[in-house]
Amino acid sequence: MPKYRVYGILTGSVYLGEYEAENKAAAEDMANEDDEANWLPSLCHQCSGEVEINDIYELQVEMVGE
């Protein structure tokens, strides 16, 4: 009988910063272009052996004070 490897695809979030912009789309563009933004979080030693961090596939933008 064949064996299968099964992976759970996880999602998470990482805080990128605050951007003063005219709208959400502009804030997202600013974050995408920001070389200082911390795009990839670090994991502890144990978790890094169990979880693989890949690229961000979506940004969520919210207005400060909402």
Q: Where are the domains of the chain?
A: 13-66
Q: pLDDT tens track of the chain, all 66 residues?
A: 888 888 877 777 778 889 999 999 999 899 888 887 766 677 888 888 887 777 677 777 888 876
Distances, alpha carbon 22 to alpha carbons 25, 38, 63, in Å: 8, 23, 11
CA 57 to chain centre: 7
Sign for the CA dihedral angle at 40, 41, 44, 49 comes to: negative
Largest pairwise CA distance in the chain: 59
CB proximity list for 10: less than 8 A, separation 6 or greater: 51
pLDDT at 40: 67
